[in-house]
Structure 1
C-alpha cells in the first residue's frame, strides 16, 4: 500500500495493492464512492479535479460523476435495482443463442487479414449491449463513433463526443417514450414516468450513457487482450482448442492475467480505517489496484504464468478483475458470456489465426487495452 497522486489531481491518495486488502476495501462500507458521503467533512473530489484537468465542461461533469458507478447507499441500490434483472446469470444464459448468432455474423465479415479490434472485438460487444438496452440498429454507428471519440486524454477533446452522447440519449429517450419496446430503456422510461422519485431526468440520460459505455468497453478489450495472450501462449491456446469446455475457466484466467481494468473508482474513508497496519484517515482517497491484487503471489501461485486451467470452478472467480463487494461489475456475467462465445467461435472458425504485425497499445490511465491487433486468419 502506497501513497501517491495522479496527474491533474492535487490531493494525494492511497493505492491499495495487496489482494486481501483490495477485497477488504471493496467490501468495507466505511469506504464510499462519493466524497459527499463522508459525514461532517467537506472533502475535495479528486475525480472532479481530474475531470477539470481534462478540460471537461462543468455542465457535463455530472454525467460522469453522478452515475450508478459513483453514488452510495440507498441511491446506489435504487439505481442498481432498476437494471440488475437484465444482467443476471439466468438472463445471460437466455441471451447466449442471440450472442452466438451475432458473433458468427461478425466473423463472416472478416477477410484473410484483419485488424481484430476494429472489426471484431469492438463491434460485437457494442451490438450486444445496444440490442439489450434498445438502441436501434441505425443509431448504433453514432453511439460507436461518439464512444470511441470520448476515449481521449487531449484536454477539452472529450467535450464534443460527450455532448453528442447526451444528445443521442435525449433523442432516443423521446423516441422510445413515443414507441416503447421490450427492452431495458423502455422499462427505465416507464420507471421514470410512473415515479420520478425512482429516476430523475438526468439520471435517466446518465444511466443510458453509462450502460452503453460500460457495457462494451471492458468486453472489447478483454477480447483483444485475451486473443493476444492466447496467440502468445500456444500451449494454453491448444488446451482450449482441444477442450472447448475449458473456455469459462480460461476467461476467468484471462481476466486475471490481462484484464483491461487495472484500478477501481476512487473510494473515500468515511472514518479512520486501518488497512495492513496503516491508518487511512477520514476523508482520504483510496484506489484499489486490481491488477496488483490479481498478481499477488500470496493468493496466486506463480502469478506471472498464464494457466487456463487455474480456476477450478467456472461458476466462481477468485480474481478481482470485475471488482468486488457492493459495486461488483453489474455486467460481469454478460461480459464473461460474450467473451466465452467470442473466443470459442474465433478459434474454431480460424484455428490457424496468427499475428500479422505488431499490436499497438492504446494508453488510458488504469487500463490495459490495444488500439490495433492485426491478424491473419489462415496459414
Structure 2
C-alpha cells in the first residue's frame, strides 16, 4: 500500500551506491519519512534512528503478516518466519531454532574449516581474486545447502535466486523457478528422508495433525535458502573490507586472534550486511519524531542506519574493534524476529576471516576502496565484488 500522496517521496532505490551518506542525511533531517524503495520494498515510511528502530522491532502494534492489519483487508500471506506474527511465528520458530543453537551448529565446524582451506589453496595460485565470488559466497552457500540437504549438483542457481528475492527490483519469474525446485526437493525428501533440516521439516508437515503446513514448509525453505546464506556472504566480505581499511587494527587481530570475534561484532554495527529490513506494517497509527504513520502503512527499518546513530554510539563512523560492547548493535535484529542463524553466521565468519588473514599476511585491496560498487539491493549491504591481492 503506497502513502496517500507521493509528493516528496524520496527515491531510496537510487541511493544504494551511497547508502551510508544517504542514511546519515535521513537520520539528521528526516528520521521518519516517505520513500520509494524499488519493487522489492515498494513505497513506505523509512525509519533511521536507533531508538525508533529498536522500539519498532519489538512493538506489538507493528505486524509482519498483512493479514493481521485490518486496514489492508488482505487474505494473502507469506507463511515464513520472516512474515508471521505470534502464535504462528512462535510455533514455526520453535521448530527452526533447534537447528541454529551454538551447540547444534558446532558439528559443522570441521566441514567449514575444510572448505575454507580448500578455497584458500585454490586462491593462492591466482595472486588476485574477487573475494566475494571466490571466497565469501561459496562458504555460506555450501553450509546452508548441507543443512537443508540440497544435492551439490543443484546449487548453482542459488545465487540467481537470491538476487531475484533480495535485489532492488524483484523478479517474480525467477522466484517461481526457485519455488518449483523446492517443491520437487520437498517431495524427494518426503519419499526418501535424509539427515537434514528439510527432511525433518517435511516429515513434520506430512504427519497427520503436523505443526507445519505445506505452504509454510515451502516458504520457510525459501527463507532459509536465501536469507540463510546471502547475509553471511556480506558479513564475511564487509569484515575483510573493514579490516583492510584499518591496517593497524588488522595487525592487532593477526597478533591476537582472540580479538577477531570483537572485530566481527563491530562490523555488524559499523557496516551491517543488512541495510533495510523487509517491510513491517503499522496495525494502528504510530507516532515517531512528530510524524504519525497511519494504520496500514509499511514501515521500512534501516538496521544499517540505526547502527550509525550518534545518539547511541560514540563516534559511530569510526571502526573500532575495542569499542564498548554495552551499546548493543542491531545487526541481527531484535525481538522475536532476531535472526535464528546468528550463531552459524558468526562461526562461518570467524573461521573464514581468521584463516584468510593468517594464510595471506600481505592481503590487500587490489583497487581503491572508493571505486568499489555496492550490491544492487536495499536489503543486503556490501560490495558486489571485492578485488584483493594475495601475498
TM category (shorter chain) comes to: 0.7 to 0.9
Residue aligning to 2:246: 233
Q: Which residue of 2 aligns with 1:180?
A: 193
Q: Is the counterpart of residue 18 in structure 1 residue 49 in structure 2? A: yes
Q: 1:341 aligns with which of 351, 373, 379?
A: 351
On the 8 A contact 2:279/2:298 being kept in 1, the answer is yes
The 1:11/1:88 distance shift into structure 2, 3 A limit, reads closer
1:330 paired with 2:343, answer no
1:178 Cα deviation after fit = 2.1
Going from structure 1 to structure 2, the CA distance change for 1:175 and 1:254 (only over 3 Å counts) comes to same
Alignment of 1:190-229 (within 5 A): 190-195=203-208, 197-229=210-242
| Aligned residue number for residue 376 of structure 2 | 363
CA distance in 2, matches of 1:29, 1:154: 30
Partner of 2:172: 159
> Pick from 18, 22, 43: which aligns with 2:72?
43
- Relative to structure 1, the CA distance from residue 198 to residue 273 in structure 2 (aligned partners, 3 Å threshold; closer, same or farther) is same
**Residue by residue, what CA displacement relative to the aligned partner does 1:299-324 show, whole Å, maximum 9, x if unpaired?**
111111000121548xxx81001111
Secondary structure in structure 1 of the residue aligned to 2:98: helix
Q: Deviations over 1:56-75 (max 9, x none)?
A: xxxxx96xx44221111111
Query: What CA deviation, in whole Å up to 9, does each residue of 1:69-104 have, x standing for no partner?
Result: 111111111221121110112223333233222221
Structure 1 residue runs of 4 or more that deviate by more than 6 Å after TM superposition: none
When residues 201 and 366 of structure 1 are mapped into structure 2, their CA distance, relative to the original with a 3 A threshold, is closer
**How far 1:248 sits from its partner (Å)?**
1.0
Partner of 1:141: 156
Contact 1:272–1:281 (Cα < 8 Å) also in 2: yes
Counterpart in the other structure of 2:321: 308
Listed as ranges, the gaps of 5+ residues in structure 1 are 49-60
Q: Which residue of 2 aligns with 1:242?
A: 255
Q: Distance in 2 between matches of 1:23 and 1:153?
A: 24
Displacement, 1:251?
A: 0.5
SS in 1 for 2:384: strand
Of 373, 376, 379, the residue aligned with 2:389 is 376
1:121 aligns with 2:126: no
Are the counterparts in 2 of residues 143 and 168 from structure 1 also a CA contact under 8 Å?
no
Contact 2:44–2:298 at 8 Å: present in 1 too?
Answer: yes
Q: 1:5 aligns with which of 10, 18, 35?
A: 35
1:28-75 deviations in Å (ceiling 9; x for gaps): 11211123212xx33278xx9xxxxxxxxxxxx96xx44221111111
What residue in structure 2 maps to residue 57 of structure 1?
none
Label 1:376 to 1:178 Cα distance change in 2 as closer, same or farther (>3 A). Answer: same
**1:345 Cα shift?**
0.7
Q: Unpaired segments of 5 or more residues in structure 2? A: 1-30
2:18 alignment counterpart: none
Report what 1:53 is aligned to: none
TM-score (norm. length: structure 2): 0.84
In the alignment of these two chains, the number of paired residues is 355
Query: How far off is 1:288 after superposition?
Result: 1.9
Distance 1:339 1:43 in 2: 40
Quick one: which of 84, 93, 103 aligns to 1:80? 93
CA distance in 2, matches of 1:13, 1:142: 31
Q: Secondary structure at the match of 2:358?
A: helix
Encode CA deviations 1:159-197: one digit per residue, 9 max, x unaligned.
342222112212211222222111111110110111455
For the aligned residues, what is the CA RMSD? 2.5
1:105-160 deviation line (CA, Å, top 9, x unaligned): 222221221111111111111101111111122222233444346555557xx234
2:274 aligned with 1:266:
no
Once the two structures are overlaid, the 10-residue window that deviates more, 160-169 or 337-346, is: 160-169
Shift of 1:14: 2.7
SS at match of 2:300: strand
Kept in 2, the 8 Å contact 1:311–1:318? The answer is: no
